[in-house]
Structures are given as C-alpha cells and as structure tokens.
Homo-oligomer: A and B are copies of this chain.
Amino acid sequence: MRPSDIPEIRALRLFKSMSDSAFEALIQAAYLQTFPAQLELIREGDPADFLYVVTEGRVELFARANGREATMGMVHPIGTFILAAVLKDAVYLMSARTCQKSKVLMIPAENVRAAFEADDAFARAIVVELASCYRSVVKEHKDLKLRSSVERLANRLLRYHADQGANGTLELPYDKRTLASLLGMTPENLSRAFNTLKPYGVQVKGTEVTLSDIDGLTTLAKPNILIDDRTS
C-alpha cells in the first residue's frame, strides 16, 4: 500500500488511540486494492470477512429485498463501513459497490476482532464509532418515518448547502437516481419534488443547485437538529 495513505487512516477516530503495535498489525494484515466503478464489493448475507476503509473514490451501501433496491448510505474517504458485522462475526446486512474507481483498504475481520480483544483503546474507539453509526441510522429512520419526500429533499438540500459553505449554491454529491434512492423515493418523484421546491427558490441545473430563498425553504423544511445534524 502507498505509505502516504497510512497517516490518514491512522488519524481516523477509529484508529487514532490504538497502540502503534496493534495498528501495525492491522495494517500489515490488510490489503489495499483499487476497484473500478460499479463493482460489488460485498453482498448482503455473506459472512463478514473484512472491515473496509475507503481511501479514495466513493462507495454506496445498499440493500435488496423482493425485487426492490434501496440505497442505505454513502461512504466517502476516509471512512469505514460494515464494522458492526465484523465485530459480531455475522453476515453483512448491506451490500456495497463502488460508485467510481475507488481505493479500498480491506482489513481481515479476524484481525480486527483480535485487535479489539488485545487493545483496550481500540475497543473504546469502536464504542464511540458504533454509537455514532447507531445514532446516524436512527436519524435516517426518523427522517423516513416523520417526513414527506419533499421535506426530506428540502432538508437534504439545506444540509448540503451548509456543508458546502452556505453561499447560496450547492452541488449535488450524487447523480439524481442515487439521491432519490437515498431519500427513499423514485427518480421521477425526486424530479417532481424539485419542481415543488421551485416556489421556494430552488433552481436545479444538472448537479448545480441554487437556493435563492433560504428562509422560505427553511420554513418549509423545518430542519430538526435531532434528525439533520450530523455532528452529534
């Protein structure tokens, strides 16, 4: 693996506080691989063989049932996924595929569990990480259960807007089909939801969005810190 990647991984909340020796052992056992776009990295139902760390590119977590498919989340560099399955030595609940060409570090699950047993600091870091993941899913669940699709979109736009500097414009981080699935709606519905938001100053051109009436949009969206805030 490229040595320059290591410090960034080491700096992750998950690995920051663990001992050098334990971290070394993890990295030594790991594989760094580059995958093309649209490659299925893991499939739900398979045993959790690896913990994944995305170092470049983008990975989509999704799930299938009946004939339907739903995007469950997106993983950006530098981020990990599928930690809970690895720790429980269980099967994956979600599938994952690359959205674009991506570089991924794969740490064998048994090494992760060994480090978890051996290194107390790592075990504690995992707790913090898992607690965060848990709260994120709870927020997504509330989003889905308590809001209409237009409200979900409005709040998502406000979130991206804030993330990107709150200067009145934002760029959609994913294509619209993926965004739709992430928001729990069809692409057609997303398109219509954008139209619904036009009177609230939302202009879309490709992946560029301009917000000319933040107050109006906010009134409609009624953002809620207990759903939309990603930091707590």
Contacts and interface: CB of A to CB of B under 8 A. Distances in A.
A66 B146 contact: yes
Majority secondary structure of chain A interface residues (helix, strand, loop or mixed)? helix
As for how many copies of this chain the complex holds, the number is: 2
A132 interface: yes
A126 interface: yes
A131 B87 contact: yes
A37 interface: no
Contact of A124 (B91, B123, B140, B184): B123
A170 B44 CA distance: 30
Contacts of A53: none
Interface string A100-137: 00000000000000001100100110111011111101
A146 B224 contact: no
Contacts of A44: 226
A147 B66 contact: yes
B226 A45 contact: yes
A230 interface: no
Interface string A190-232: 0000000000000000000000000000000010111100001
Given A65-B222, A147-B66, A222-B65, A137 B127 contact: no
B140 A141 contact: yes
Nearest to A224: B65
Contact of A137 (B66, B69, B91, B141): B141
Given A65-B147, A132-B88, A145-B63, A127 B123 contact: yes
Contact of A138 (B94, B139, B142): B94
Nearest to A143: B65
B130 A70 contact: no
User: When A and B form their complex, which 4 residue pairs have the shortest distance between CB atoms, in order from nearest?
Assistant: A84-B131, A65-B146, A70-B145, A130-B130
